[in-house]
Copies of this chain bind each other. A is one copy, B any other.
Amino acid sequence: MDVAELLARRHCVKAFDAERKIPEETMAKLREALRLSASSVNTQPWHVVVAAGAAGKERMARAASGPYAYNAPKILAASHVVALCARRDLDSAALEAVLAQEGRDGRFPRPGDAERQRASRESYVALHRDELQDLPHWMGKQVYLQLGTLLLAAAALEVDACPMEGFDPDVLSRELGLEAKGLRPVVMVALGYRSAEDWNAALPKSRLSAETVFTFLD
């Protein structure tokens, strides 16, 4: 696979073919891409709600109303819609759950490994909680890292995607009971296959030039 070519070809799909479903085998790979995404000091401060059926997509589409109504048809016609959520807090229970998983997975073969990992991760969390005071944004950034992973994974699997910030997070949160689960929605992604009405498929991709984007040091 030529990743540059894949990225040049992918685009934000504006209309989905409501008749085409993503095969479960492909969805399983996309879920693994989400689950295996990197995150800062492996915090994984995320949760993903997956809607496959009409009822689930209708619930998600309720958050795309008012100024965001243009996103509702995409949510309803897509094969699957994922709501990428961030944790509302990274408390010690969450951090201990990650540490315990790392232990079960065999990442602490030497004495003191777990304690060193705990201390390293806690120092980054403390930096964001206490000094920079941007812990929710830092967790949100991990979700965008996960989003970047998903978009390239979808392109590699020939699945079309439309990432959407255009929804009311409070409505989605209420609809999916996210606050009670300690979560807040960050971004939604409609996944499926474009229809003939996808006007963006015919338009060329546009990006700033390499001269604008890069500076080279000797």
Residues of A at the B interface (CB closer than 8 Å) are 1-4, 7-8, 10, 12, 28-29, 31-38, 40, 42, 44, 46-53, 55-57, 59-60, 67, 97-98, 101-102, 104-107, 109, 123-124, 134, 137, 140-142, 144-153, 156-157, 163, 165, 176, 203-210, 212-218
Task: Determine the chain B residues whose CB is within 8 A of the CB of A123 once the complex forms.
Answer: 67
Assess whether B33 is in contact with A7, with CB atoms less than 8 Å apart: yes
Question: Which of A55, A97, A98, A206 neighbours the largest number of chain B CB atoms within 10 Å of its CB?
Answer: A206
Assess whether A35 is in contact with B207, with CB atoms less than 8 Å apart: yes
Assess whether A163 is in contact with B38, with CB atoms less than 8 Å apart: yes
* Nearest-Cβ distance from residue A124 to partner chain B, whole angstroms: 7
- Residue of B50, B107, B216 touching A206 (CB-CB under 8 A): B107
Q: In whole angstroms, how far apart are the Cα atoms of A24 and B123 in the complex?
A: 37
Assess whether B204 is in contact with A106, with CB atoms less than 8 Å apart: yes
Assess whether B165 is in contact with A207, with CB atoms less than 8 Å apart: no
Q: In whole angstroms, how far apart are the Cα atoms of A35 and B209 in the complex?
A: 8
Assess whether A208 is in contact with B140, with CB atoms less than 8 Å apart: no
- Residue of B49, B124, B206 touching A217 (CB-CB under 8 A): B49
Question: Which of A12, A32, A101 neighbours the largest number of chain B CB atoms within 10 Å of its CB?
Answer: A32
Assess whether A32 is in contact with B4, with CB atoms less than 8 Å apart: yes
Q: In whole angstroms, how far apart are the Cα atoms of A107 and B203 in the complex?
A: 6
Q: For residue A206, which residue of chain B has the nearest CB? A: B105
Assess whether A36 is in contact with B214, with CB atoms less than 8 Å apart: no
Task: Determine the chain B residues whose CB is within 8 A of the CB of A141 once the complex forms.
Answer: 137, 140-141, 144
Assess whether A8 is in contact with B36, with CB atoms less than 8 Å apart: yes
